[in-house]
Amino acid sequence: MIKIIEAPLAQNLQPLSLYWREHGIDHRIVEQMGLQVILVKDDSLRQKLIEDYQAFIEGRLSIKLQRRQMPDRRLALLQFLKHFPVTLSLFVLSIVGFLLVYFNQQALLDLLAIQGIDNHSLSQRLNLPERISTQEYLAHGQYWRLITPIFLHFGWLHITFNMLWLWELGRRIELQGGSLHLLSVVFFIGVASNLYQAASTPLATFGGMSGVIYGLLGYCAVFSLISPQRALHLPKEIYIFMLASLLIGYLGIFDFLAQMANTAHLSGLIFGCVIGVPSAILSRWGSR
């Protein structure tokens, strides 16, 4: 590059440099021997740059710099998250459920379990036995218990694993089908998996979003086969990993760490596949 102008180091040439760049003048300003040196590739620009520099230092060239409005990252994040209200609501409710378990809020946990041991005042007022089945709760109109166990999580690994998959799968379905659709899918899978788990382990306390997660996985798999959607496409390695985890749960390899609700996992997967069929068919028919 060709040296055009030398200027003192103390002189602020940034406004002039920005002015040149706005006018498409390719140049560089470097430090050499205690001076600022302005370099250009095209020597034909020499006279203009010298004239602009003289006008700038004499105050005849007035350059006003406007601060560019930088996008607010928090606002951008909120704009992104507003597309997934149901996924975020499920996330928050799961965190709340985990905290209830973590801080041993037994009175509230007894209101959320689908079955188990309950000897608190509410059960006594309803004349319920200490060991209460799902049918007994439902007979007294406590239908919320059909879905609330999905929000209870027992340990950091449990909540972390489920929330990662909820965010990955839930937002895909919400983006593709809408918030109401995701809510209905989660409700259907959650109730079905809870009922089947309760039937397979009578009076046992269980919880977690895992059954729903497997259901969402099955939903994505079936939907993608019938009506391929980019939003629901998942690498085959994910399916292999999740199915292997399901098999490991049934083999009881990690039962020494925690008992898994295997029936909820399997039934959730099955019902996710089931509800994925009409959803995909309707989506494919609607696109035509």
What CATH number corresponds to the domain at position 15?
3.30.70.2080
- Over residues 202-224, the mean pLDDT reads 94
131 in a structural domain: yes
Locate tokens 């269980």: which residue?
Answer: 206
Q: Which residues are catalytic?
A: 210, 265
Amino acid at 162: N
The answer, yes or no, to whether residue 24 has pLDDT greater than 90, is: no
Q: Answer yes or no: is 209 within a domain.
A: yes
C-beta of residue 4 within 8 angstroms of C-beta of residue 46: yes
Residue whose tokens read 């919400």: 174
Identify whether 256 is part of a domain.
yes
Residues 279 and 181 in one domain: yes
Q: Which of 228, 225, 272 is nearest to 246 (CA)?
A: 272
- Cβ–Cβ under 8 Å, residues 44 and 74: no
Same structural domain, 9 and 131: no
Residues of the chain with pLDDT > 90: what percent?
57
Local confidence band at 178 (pLDDT 50, 70, 90 cut-offs): very high
- Residues 215, 216, 218, 219, CA torsion sign: positive
Are residues 125 and 209 part of one domain? yes
The answer to whether residues 147 and 52 belong to one domain is no
Same domain? 24 vs 120: no
Shared domain for 168 and 43, answered yes or no, is no
| Number of domains the chain is built from | 2
* Average pLDDT of the residues in 160-188: 95
Tens-place pLDDT, residues 254-265: 776 677 889 999
pTM: 0.72
Q: Which of 115, 90, 265 is nearest to 192 (CA)?
A: 265
Give yes or no for a contact between 131 and 203, defined as CB atoms under 8 angstroms apart: yes
80 within some domain: yes
Q: Report yes or no on 63 lying in a domain.
A: no
What is the average pLDDT score of the chain? 89
Would residue 65 count as lying in a domain? no
Asked if residue 10 and residue 104 are part of one domain, the reply reads: no
| Angle at alpha carbon of residue 158, lines to 154 and 164, rounded to 5° | 140
**Residues of the chain with pLDDT > 70: what percent?**
91
Check whether residue 154 and residue 24 sit in a common domain: no
Residues 34 and 174 in one domain: no
Q: Which amino acid is at 282?
A: L
Mean pLDDT of 27-34: 86
User: Domain span at residue 107?
Assistant: 73-287
Q: Are residues 14 and 114 in the same domain?
A: no
219 and 119 in a single domain? The answer is: yes
Q: Provide the CATH number for the domain around residue 258.
A: 1.20.1540.10
Domain annotation covers residue 232: yes
The answer to whether position 41 is within a domain reads yes
Is residue 13 domain-shared with residue 129, that is, in the same domain? no
